[in-house]
A and B are shown apart, each in its own frame.
Chain A
Amino acid sequence: MSLESILAQFRDPDAARALAAAIRTRSTRPARLMEFCGGHTHAILRFGIPSLLPETVDLRSGPGCPVCVTAAGDLDRAIALAQVPDVILTTFGDMIRVPGSRLSLAQAKAQGADVRVVYSPLDALRIAQETPARPVIFLGVGFETTAPMVASTVLAAEAAGVRNFTVFSTHKLTPPATRAILAAGEVALDGIIGPGHVTTVIGAAAWRFLPQEYAIPCAIAGFEPLDLLRAILSLVEMVEQGRADVTNTYARSVRLEGNAPALAALERVFEVADVEWRGFGVVPASGLALREAYARFDAARAFPVDVPPAKELPGCRCGEVLRGVLLPTECALFARVCTPQNPTGPCMVSAEGACAAYYRYGERI
């Protein structure tokens, strides 16, 4: 079966129309739904889903863009690591254009730092093996989706006896951030569109706290238009019935218990830590740090760098966008000062950033 024919099943126009019609029929009361995941925001806007929905359904983008929620201080530290003599800093492409307090990685690179874009942490390990005389640091950014790959790479480095490879972990966990948004109560939410890739790893059961503690329904969704429409319909139905539950509209990928080998690799290499999120401050038990047993793979311990206190980006309201309080289009800088060509904040830089998605696919008339 070709990829195209597989995808066609999830993009069928007649099925989409039928789902959209069902949402319009069923929805009578306001339903403010947050899609946690930046990938969802992009898919929603790329397929023009808001234009198919009734006015009662209000979609809000959440903090699910790993590059965006990376704290300015962490980015400053990563840049300082890149400037350590001989260090090769490897990172995913999205990260290099994000403005830090003083510089971006791209600017540090232009000034002579050896910053390389990789497509996988294993590429970073390969670079370390090919250049044994130089320290290679992988900037670990991402949620439970990406962190297992990094954990596996650390395990592979250990198995291969590689001594010049370390990870600067800024990995983050999604349920604590969702909890932080609900606990803060800045934005009243009626439902959560659960992140499909993250939940493939952590399991749908990890979201049960939403109905149990906050009486809010959650629908786990995939990234195709029919997946998203099904999840929205499921949430609208629960809102209408006054019912809160976790539903899984992405059962072809997500299981209740998650991906056991991925979770085992995470558990082995990382421990849960209190970490800082852009826009949130320090969120308890919301990040992943390398365990003591893997300390020699920890760039933060191997290369202690001092950075001045982080500076906020003037006028940038990414923090509020990430908390779902502000729509990108409500920011005074959006599309006027802040554009993908000349981004003020990370939400306009990253391919998963809400501002970039609204700019790229949204109406800007």
Chain B
Amino acid sequence: MENVIRLSHGAGGRMMNDLIREVFATPLDNPILRQMADASACNLQSANLQFAISTDSFVINPLFFPGGDIGSLSVHGTVNDVAMAGARPLWLTAGFILEEGLEMGVLERVVRSMGEAARAAGVQVVAGDTKVVERGHGDGIYINTAGFGVVREGVHVGPQEARAGDVVLLSGTVGDHGIAVLSQREGLRFETDLLSDSAALNGLVEALLDVAPHTHCLRDPTRGGLAAVLNELAAASNVGVEIEEAAVPVRPAVAAACEMLGFDPFTVANEGKLVAFVPSGEAQAALAALRAHPLGQDAARIGTVVAEHAGLVLARTAIGGRRVVDMPLGELLPRIC
């Protein structure tokens, strides 16, 4: 096996076959993928089912960060998107765009990590694709994963489903992923023990829906953070959201980094948290179920859905004042003075 990626690894010939066999096949192995067909036919038990399909591309820099890497992240991100539809994720596809010159060892680490993440989440990678781009035209590895799952019977979650009176639950601390990744960036490196929260949330969603089957909205606050998700749900459902700033769990290291850099932890990315809008009657059981799960120990009730100020998210601040929580703009830039 070569020790770096070359353009011919994506050219469809023997080298690509070697790459598939030697790097991808074993870590991602399962009976469906093993057939190596152009498309995989997957069996479902019943025809009367609702499906959830999602796709996501991963272009993270650096490839390896405290608490995860692009491989595990590409599984968690798509598994979570499917789970947020109230679905059980079953199958993933994986498309790789590799940069010529990438060290084979790096790719192997990433694929191993993907395989472990998929097994832990109980999903199978059933189809894949590899392309190689010329040196300088990529960032080492880009991964696209698509996910397919089956919606739980009787569950109707969706961004338009929030109702006044719903309780807003958050499964844990916010901002861990964004700050952990930022701490590794060139030009911005700072010392922290913080780990990304990257995790597959399908198990947590199962636990939640077992006791709160009438949950109205589920979202994982990735890019844009908690603020973006709350704004999206408020707008899609045409309701207002009111949260207690002090009730939102934030790790001290995240709070400190945000103070230094001028960020609002509510706008920093997460990869292993969910927000649930749950009818008040099921809220207590839902919170208990989240807290009983290893990925939801710090879960908290952070606010409520109201009929007033539709589309707007308001926060009661730590000192008892009131402010708008706005949709974040995009790229986070450290403040200048």
Q: Which A residues lie at the B interface, using CB under 8 A?
A: 2-4, 7, 11-13, 16-17, 20, 39, 45-52, 66, 92-94, 117, 119, 123, 142-143, 145-146, 197, 225-226, 340-341, 351-352, 359-365
Interface pair B336/A142, CB less than 8 Å apart: yes
Q: Mark B323-337, 1 if CB is under 8 A from A, else 0.
A: 110100100011111
Of the 9-residue stretches B7-15, B206-214, B282-290, B311-319, which lies at the interface with chain A? B311-319
Residues of B within 8 A of A3 (CB): 252, 255-256, 259-260
Interface pair A13/B319, CB less than 8 Å apart: yes
Interface pair B321/A94, CB less than 8 Å apart: no
Residues of A within 8 A of B333 (CB): 93-94, 117, 351
Q: For the complex, give the distance between the alpha carbons of A364 and B335 in Å.
A: 24
Q: Knowing A2-B256, A365-B312, say if A341 contacts B319 (CB, 8 Å).
A: no
Q: For the complex, give the distance between the alpha carbons of A92 and B262 in Å.
A: 14
Q: Mark B250-275, 1 if CB is under 8 A from A, else 0.
A: 00100110011010100000000000
Does B320 lie at the interface of the complex (its beta carbon under 8 Å from any beta carbon of A)?
A: yes
Does B187 lie at the interface of the complex (its beta carbon under 8 Å from any beta carbon of A)?
A: yes
Interface pair A2/B321, CB less than 8 Å apart: no
Q: For the complex, give the distance between the alpha carbons of A215 and B235 in Å.
A: 49
Interface pair A16/B320, CB less than 8 Å apart: yes
Interface pair A45/B323, CB less than 8 Å apart: yes
Interface pair B256/A17, CB less than 8 Å apart: no
Interface pair B337/A51, CB less than 8 Å apart: no
Interface pair B337/A66, CB less than 8 Å apart: yes
Query: Which 10 pairs from chain A and chain B are nearest by CB?
Result: A48-B321, A16-B319, A92-B336, A93-B333, A3-B256, A48-B317, A361-B323, A48-B323, A51-B322, A4-B252
Which applies to chain A's interface (DSSP): helix, strand, loop or mixed?
A: helix
Q: Name the residue of chain A whose CB is nearest to the CB of B309.
A: A365
Interface pair B319/A52, CB less than 8 Å apart: yes
Interface residues of B in 216-266 (CB under 8 A from A): 246, 252, 255-256, 259-260, 262, 264
Residues of A within 8 A of B323 (CB): 45-48, 51, 361-362
Q: For the complex, give the distance between the alpha carbons of A52 and B334 in Å.
A: 29
Complex A-B: 5 CB contacts under 8 Å? A2-B256, A13-B320, A47-B319, A48-B322, A361-B326
Interface pair B326/A49, CB less than 8 Å apart: no
Q: Knowing A361-B323, A362-B324, say if A48 contacts B316 (CB, 8 Å).
A: yes
Q: For the complex, give the distance between the alpha carbons of A50 and B322 in Å.
A: 8
Among candidates B252, B312, B336, residue contacting A93 with C-beta atoms closer than 8 Å = B336
Q: For the complex, give the distance between the alpha carbons of A359 and B324 in Å.
A: 8
Interface residues of B in 38-57 (CB under 8 A from A): none
Interface pair A119/B326, CB less than 8 Å apart: no
Q: Knowing A361-B326, A365-B312, say if A51 contacts B321 (CB, 8 Å).
A: yes
